[in-house]
Structures are given as C-alpha cells and as structure tokens.
Amino acid sequence: MAQVTTAEQKSIFSLFNFIALIIVGIGLYLTYLRFAGGLAAVTNLSDYNPWGIWISFDLLCGVALAAGGYVTSSAVYLFGMKKYHSAVRPAILTGFLGYALVFLAINYDVGRPWRLPYPLIVQQGTTSVLFEVGLCVATYLTVLFVEFSPAAMEWLGLKRARNLVVKLTILLTIFGVVLSTMHQSSLGALFLIAPSKLHPLWYSPYIPVYFFITSVVAGLSMVIFESTLSHRFFAYKMDETHFKEADGVTLGFGKAASFVLAGYFAIKVMGISADNNWHYLKTGYGSWYLVELLGFVALPSLLYAIGVRVKSLTLIKWTSVLAVLGVILNRFNVCLIAFNWHLPSAERYFPHWMEIGISVFIVMIGLILYRFIVTRMPILYEHPDYKDAH
C-alpha cells in the first residue's frame, strides 16, 4: 500500500533533516535578535501597524487551521460518525501542536512574554475581547493536551492513567467545542472595536460568526490536506483500519466542507446587504473582496461538491488546499490588507524577512514534532494492546 519505498523514504527524510537543520539554525539566531534587541530589531511593526504577520499568520491562521481537532472529535464522539474514527487522533495531534505553536509565537510578539499570565492572575480586563481569547486559548490548549495524552501514555505504557483519560472523552470533546466556538469567533470579534480602520467590506457585526464558520472549513480541509501528506510520507505507519477509512474521511469531510462553504457564502452576501456595502464592490478593494469571495469561497464549495459527486479523491484533495488558502487569505485581509486601508501607502505595513523567518521557524518546529510523534506513538494506527478500546 505504501507509495514510496523505504530507500526513497530515507532520502526524503535526510533532505528534510537538512532543511530542518538550516531553518532551525536561522530561527534560533533570529530568536536571539528578537529578545536581545526588541521588536524593532526584527520586525517592520510601527505605531500605525502594531500587529504584523505574527498575529495575522501565527495567531489568526494558526488557530483557524488547528480547528481540525474539535471538528473531527465532535463529529465522531458527539454526532456518532464512527466511520471517521481513525481521523480523530491525527486531527487532535495537529490541533494540539497548532495551539502549542500559537502560544510559542505569541511569546515572540508580545513585549513582555513573561507577563502573559498577568491577565489571569494579576488584573482581569474582562471588557477585552483579547481577555476572552487568551483565557479560552490557554484552557483549550490544556484540553487538547489531555485529549492527546492517551496516545503518549499508550506509547509509554501508562495503562491506568490512559484508561482514566479515555473515560473523559465525551466531557473533553464538549469542552473543546464550547471553548473553540468562543475563541474562534472572538478572534474575529477582536476587530469589532476598530470600525474606522478595517475596510467596510470586511468589517461586519457578523465577523465573529464569519471567523467561527471559516474555522470549521479550515478544520475540515486541513484534515483532508494533512491526511494526503501523511499518506505520502507516513503510509508505513498506518494500519488497515486507517487505510480502509481514509477515502471515506476525504469524501465525507469534503461533502461537509462544501455545505459549510455554501452557507458561509450565503451569510457573507447577507453581511454585505445588511450594511448595504454593495457600492464598495466597484472599487479596487471590492475587486479584491470578490477574488476572496468567489475564488476562495464559492469555487472551493463548488469543486468539493463536484469532487464528492464524481467521487474524485484527487479533486477533493486539491480543493482542500484551495480552501485552506482561502481561510489564510481571509485572515490576512482582515488583519493586514484591508486593515489600515485609509492610511497612505508609505504608512502601510509589509513584513520584514526576519518576521517571516520566525514564522517559518515555528512551522518547522511543528513539522519536526509531528514527525517525532507519529513515528513513535499510536497516531496513525491503533496500539495492539488497546484494540477496540475506543
């Protein structure tokens, strides 16, 4: 079943190791620059542009793309779609790693990261949307850690503790959905306070709903996309159940994503109508908005639908890439491109290469950890000692 032979695999991994080594090396050096010289040493942030790609990509995209965890676990454990069971563990793992990396990235972005617990223990700014985001992300990171832990405990042979945590599955899943609903939407709500800075086409009272719905799209599409990559590189780790269920996961998740995208398209159009923003569509920003709405929302919805209809796994897999890019584009539009649109171009922000370097470094850490875990722990297969225990 494996698509690549072991020899090829080895050469791929040694190439991976080589690239990883370089990126980590550069990343560590940039980390030194950041903490020795402050944000000015590595970023293009300014008084007009306090948030750059560490917020738009690492935080906003990171959290959205890590939504596969709550989407998959709620489908399987709460809605009874047991045929997708083999997709849960990879999704929980990428969710957990995603949130852990978001937390890591935040440490680079805030001025005094050692004070990150202050909003919880020193003074609570409960009127701030960011307070809710922080609280939920911190709590959800803990929940994801616990949800992930059975795999680690099976690997380490901690049978008792593992069985205890497995008993909490339903409770943890419900917790996960509640927390995700709140902070996924709140990341959008962060921008509600700045109607004078965000372009009217992207500013909407519905923006929290938009962010939540697109997180579902991102979650579903990332599961499909990651499964494609895992089959390419870690097929030898997969058991029969995983292989048997994989096509069903792609078809089922593709179908769900098609519907959710269609609904999202509908509420976006309603949003334009509600604020009567139609006339903005004729402007340059309007064209860009249409690129996002038609090319990265309507198109993937249609392609997913066609892929499911003609049972083309290839089409669904490529569409998942398009849908993920669409969510990334949306976050960039809200946080960077359509934000501060009123400023002259000289005052606008474009990331410094070192900011991008840190982001690449953090993604690379995620890939290294993912590889470390799936090659050791029962993620893509069921542990022989714990069969049928789910």
Partner 1 sequence: MGWVGAVGLSTTFVKSGAAATTKHFTGYPNSFAILHDITLCVGCRTCEAACNKVNELPQPDKPFTDLSVLETKRRTTTKAFTVVNKYDNSVPSETPIFYKKQCNHCLEPACASACFVRAFTKTKTGAVIYDSSVCVGCRYCMVACPFEIPTYEYDQALTPRIRKCTMCYPRVVEGQLPGCVEACPLEALSFGKRENIIKIARERIRKYPDRYVDHIYGEQEMGGTNWMYLSGVPFKDLGMREDLGITPAPQLTAGALSSVPIIVGLWPVLLAGLYGISKRKEKIAKTEQEQAVASALDKEKSATSQIEEKS
Return residues touching partner 1 (CB under 8 A). Answer: 35-41, 43, 45-48, 50-51, 74, 77-80, 109-113, 115-116, 118-119, 122-132, 134-136, 139, 170, 173-175, 177-179, 181-182, 185-186, 189-197, 205, 208
Q: How many CB atoms lie within 10 A of CB 257?
A: 29
359 with 105: CB under 8 angstroms?
yes
Give min distance, CB of 254 to partner 1, in A.
Answer: 22
| Residue placing its CB nearer to partner 1 in the complex, 51 or 318 | 51
C-beta closer to partner 1: residue 22 or 40: 40
In whole angstroms, the minimum distance from the beta carbon of 190 to partner 1 comes to 7
Q: Which of 339, 82, 97, 76 is nearest to 226 (CA)?
A: 97
| Lookup: tokens for 81 | 């779609």
Cβ nearer to partner 1, comparing 229 with 274: 274
**Nearest distance from C-beta of residue 278 to partner 1, angstroms:** 18
In angstroms, the CA 368 to CA 23 distance is 11
* CB of 9 or CB of 139, closer to partner 1: 139
The answer to whether the CB of 34 falls within 8 A of the CB of 361 is: no
Q: CB of 62 within 8 A of CB of 101?
A: yes
Kindly state the smallest distance separating residue 135's Cβ from partner 1, in Å. Answer: 6
Min dist CB 275 to partner 1, Å, is 13
Q: How far is the CB of 46 from partner 1 (least distance, A)?
A: 8
Least distance CB 191 / partner 1 (angstroms): 8
Residue among 234, 252, 245 at smallest CA distance from 380 = 234
Taking the complex as a whole, the smallest distance from the CB of residue 140 to partner 1 amounts, in Å, to 10
Tokens standing for 58?
Answer: 């690492």
240 CB contacts (<8 Å, ≥6 apart)? none
The nearer residue to partner 1, 168 or 321, going by C-beta atoms, is 168
Angstrom CA distances, 287 to 86, 280, 291, 297, 340, stand at 42, 9, 6, 14, 18
> CB of 338 within 8 A of CB of 291?
no
Residue found under tokens 């890019």:
325
Using the minimum distance from each CB to partner 1, give the nearer residue, 16 or 280.
280
Instruction: Indicate the residue among 74 and 277 with the shorter CB distance to partner 1.
Output: 74
70/233 with CB nearer partner 1: 70
CB nearer partner 1, residue 77 or residue 361: 77
Close Cβ partners of 366 (under 8 Å, ≥ 6 residues apart) = 97, 98, 101
Closest approach of Cβ 158 to partner 1, in Å?
Answer: 27
DSSP 22-80: HHHHHHHHHHHHHHHH-HHHH----SS----HIIIIIIIIHHHHTTHHHHHHIIIIIS-
Selection from 225, 233, 243 nearest residue 300 by Cα: 225
Tokens 């022989």: give the residue.
384
